Each structure stands twice: as structure tokens, then as C-alpha cells.
């Protein structure tokens, strides 16, 4: 399904910025989506990124199956009936504020946290020669380590591992091929959070 020109409402109980963009574009429902639907949409959208990145469908399905709870009955329920995208908050994949903190508990953008991205970024040069602020893998790892460090006293050990399934994957999907390697455009990340939109260079490939 191509993205909709109409912005769809997104539940505040969906804390994932990438999924929020897909729901906003009408590519995924705001409530329940089958594991097959989620997998197909994510892999299709990922391939529109620079270098046509390929995400493993089996991993996506496994994550979606456990997204609403690790109880075996819940996992089986998700596998049969679908993942509740409007009930991801406080689930096993939610770090409850131990991550970037860019979205608060009501999914409002926290400006100070969004601006903080620039503290870890540096000037990048795109393949076309354009200069912009961006975050490469080393800078993202530094940011994730600092996020985990500042959450001392309210974090779980698993939260740091969960981060590795977020920002590095976003880099793989949404990153640009720069002169010195792949990087996330700070401006595009800001758009993702503020407007719930993926880069136009990706979305335009889905409109046909």
C-alpha cells in the first residue's frame, strides 16, 4: 500500500518513531496489524533507503510477536491475531525513559532532548557534496552509552541492548551514504519525531 496523503492519527501508546511514521502515513493501522503485514511493510519501506537495505523478516516477526508481552500466551496471541501497535508502551521493548527521552509518556516531543542530538553529531558530507549535521555509528553508540549512563537508578540492563535494536537499525534504514560512511541526518531525524514522516527521498519511491 502506498503512503496516504492524509496524516493519520497515531496512538500515544506507540512510542516507536519509525512505526509512528508508518501509521501516520496509513501504511499500518493504529490498532492491530498481523505479523505478516508489519513485516512486509517494514521490509518494503527499508528497501527505499540508500543502498536498498534489507531487514531480516524473521527477526521482525519475532520482535512483533513479543512486543505486547513475553508471556507465552501473549506471544501466541500476537502470532495468531497480530500485534497491538497502540499498546506498545510499557511493554517489554519500552525502555520507560531510559533511552533518548525525545518522546515523553504521552508521545509529545521534548524539545530539549531533540536538540540534544546535535551534541553528539558532527558535520557530514553527503554523496552529492551537501554538508549537514549527522550522526554516524560511532556517534550513535556514544549517545546510547550516555543515555544509559544518565538513566542510572531507573534503568534495566536490557535497556542498553534494546537501544542497539533502535538507533543502529534506524541508521541502516534511514541513513545517508556520506563521503566518510553512512550517517543519520539530524534534520531528518527531527522531522521523523516532530512530523512523523520518513524522508521524502524514501517516501517518493512508495508512491507508485
Per-residue pLDDT reduced to its tens digit, 80-125: 999 999 999 999 999 988 899 999 999 999 999 999 999 999 999 9
Q: Which three three-digit cell numbers place residue 125?
A: 558530507
CA 17 to chain centre: 5
* Closest by CA position to 117, among listed 126, 109, 108, 125: 109
Average pLDDT, rounded, for the chain = 94
Q: Where are the beta strands (DSSP E) in 45-187?
A: 83-84, 122-125, 131-135, 176-178, 181-185
Question: 3-class DSSP state for residue 201?
Answer: helix
Please name every residue paired with 132 in a beta bridge, in sequence order, or none if there are none: 124
CA 116 to chain centre: 17
Give the helix, strand, coil percentages of the chain, each rounded to 5.
Answer: 45, 10, 40
CB 51 within 8 A of CB 177: yes
Query: In the structure, what pLDDT confidence band is assigned to residue 31 with cuts at 50, 70 and 90?
Result: very high
**Within 10 A of 193 (CB to CB), how many other CB atoms are there?**
20
Per-residue pLDDT reduced to its tens digit, 135-175: 999 999 999 999 999 999 999 999 999 999 999 999 999 99
Question: 3-class DSSP state for residue 134?
Answer: strand
Amino acid at each position: 500500500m502506498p503512503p496516504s496523503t492524509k496524516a493519520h492519527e497515531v496512538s500515544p501508546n506507540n512510542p516507536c518513531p519509525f512505526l509512528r511514521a508508518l501509521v501516520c502515513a496509513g501504511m499500518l493501522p493504529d490498532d492491530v496489524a498481523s505479523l505478516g503485514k508489519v513485516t512486509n511493510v517494514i521490509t518494503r519501506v527499508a528497501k527505499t533507503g540508500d543502498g536498498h537495505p534489507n531487514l531480516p523478516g524473521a527477526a521482525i516477526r519475532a520482535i512483533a510477536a513479543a512486543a505486547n508481552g513475553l508471556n507465552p500466551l501473549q506471544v501466541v496471541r500476537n502470532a495468531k491475531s497480530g500485534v497491538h501497535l497502540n499498546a506498545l508502551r510499557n511493554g517489554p521493548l519500552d525502555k520507560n525513559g531510559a533511552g533518548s527521552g525525545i518522546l515523553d509518556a504521552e508521545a509529545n516531543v521534548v524539545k530539549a532532548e531533540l536538540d540534544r542530538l546535535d551534541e553528539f553529531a558532527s558535520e557530514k558530507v553527503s554523496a552529492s557534496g551537501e554538508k549537514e549535521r549527522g550522526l554516524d555509528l560511532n556517534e550513535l553508540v556514544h549517545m546510547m552509552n550516555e543515555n544509559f549512563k544518565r538513566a542510572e537508578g531507573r534503568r534495566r540492563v536490557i535497556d542498553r541492548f534494546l537501544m542497539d535494536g533502535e538507533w543502529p537499525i534506524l541508521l541502516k534504514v534511514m541513513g545517508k551514504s556520506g563521503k566518510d560512511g553512512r550517517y543519520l541526518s539530524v534534520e531528518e531525524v527531527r522531522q521523523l519525531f516532530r512530523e512523523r514522516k520518513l524522508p521524502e527521498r524514501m517516501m517518493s519511491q512508495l508512491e507508485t
